[in-house]
Every structure is written in structure tokens, then in C-alpha cells.
Amino acid sequence: MSKVAVITGGGSGLGQSCAIRLAEEGVNIAVVDVSDEGGNQTVEAVKELGQDAIFIKADVSKAEDVKRYVDETIEYFGTIDYFFNNAGISGSGAYFLETDIKEIEQIVGINLLGALYGIRYVAEVMLKNGGGSIVNTASSAGVIGQDTVVTYSATKHGIVGLTKSLVAEYAKDGLRVNAIAPGPTETPMVKSYFEANPKMKESAESGIPQKRLGTPEEVAELVTFLLTSKAEYINGEVIRIDGGFTNTKF
């Protein structure tokens, strides 16, 4: 019987690439996103690979939406084995004291509260079924400090703490929780950020020892490995995938 994965932010970028990669491994997918177009595109891509998929439109910053996407996944598939807790936004790139309070609230709501709500409801299902595997999306900005992304960085440092503390509480019950910390990656979110802040792209590329951005497909390989049984004894880790970017900073 096929495993079932829930992927938030599944309509583009890392979420979409991971959905496709998991489908190649025979996994059925519940795609969660705010974009109808992107979410349905991912569903079609998964189905073309012979796996089942559904799209659930949801705003992860709202607890009621999160509970609904979990309930709808259970109603359709009957279980949740894997969770890629991935939805996030970067913000405008303004310095912190120039950032609008509404933007701060939006970033925290989606990136941190959305991740907390997701695990609150998904892990509850997993533990009833004897366990499961979760990968949270942190960031290079979750392991070092970076300018122009103060609020984003704060939420991603929060993801690191969330990952480690959940393992302390629930590893004994069969829950595996790891995080990825991607550096600058060629996703729509990063491209949009660099378009608004062109000097940051040049700075990022020059600061990466491998002298290029990562690709969503490379990140999807790591996420798929961490979610599946190939990584059964990896728990509570925050794995950097950044071409050496953060190793050169501090």
C-alpha cells in the first residue's frame, strides 16, 4: 500500500519538486497551497507519475485551515505517513526597522505558526498510527544571522528549535523530525526576492563556495531521503544544503 505525504507550499518551488520526487518513489500526495493554479499543477504532475494526489487550498497561518487540510487528507487517504512542513515566505527584503508590522505578522504567521499548527495536527495523527516522519524547512538564515531577512531568520531559527524539541518529546513514540537548511535556491520565492533586491543575488552567488544557487531538485532528493525509511536512524538533525555557504560565515 502506498505511503501518503502531506506537503505544504506544494504548489511551487521546493514543495512541488518534493511532491514529484516522492511520487517517483510511489508515494501519494496531499498538496497544500494557497494557489489553485500551482496546487493543481502539482497534482497533475504527480498523477502523470502514476500516483494519487489531491489539492487542498489552505492558509497555513490559520489553525482552522490547518486542521481542515489534515482532516481532508485523512478522509481521502486514510492516513499520513510523511509531512513536508514547508510553506513559507521571505518578506520584502527591507531592513528590520523599516519593515511594516503587518509584514512581520504575516511572516511569523506563515513560517512559524503555520509550522507549529501543522505539526500539532499532523503529529497527532501519526502518533495514533505508531509514528511517522516529518521534515521542516528551515534555512541558511535559520543557522546564521543574515541582513534584510531579520523576521524570516527569526522564524527559521524557531523551526530549528521546534525540530529538536519535538524529538526530545516524541522520538520514543515513533516520530522522526528533521529539518533542512537550504541556502539560496532557484525557487520562485527566492527569484522574487532577488528581483526586488538585485544586489543580494550577486552577493549570494559570490558568497557560495560552489558559485551557484542550489536547485529545487537537489533539495527534493534530501527531503525524500529524510522522510523515507532510508533514514530511519536520523532524528532531530538540521541538515544544511547550501553549497558551503554557511560554512564560510561564522
Give catalytic residue positions: 152
3-class DSSP assignment, residue 130: coil
Alpha carbons 8 and 83: distance in angstroms, whole number = 8
What distance in Å separates the CA atoms of residue 147 and residue 162, rounded to the nearest whole number?
23
3-state DSSP helix/strand/coil % of the chain, to nearest 5: 55, 15, 30
CA 35 to chain centre: 16
- Do 238 and 167 touch, CB atoms closer than 8 A? no
Cite the beta strand spans of the chain per DSSP E: 4-8, 28-33, 53-57, 82-85, 132-137, 175-182, 238-241
The DSSP letter of residue 80 is -
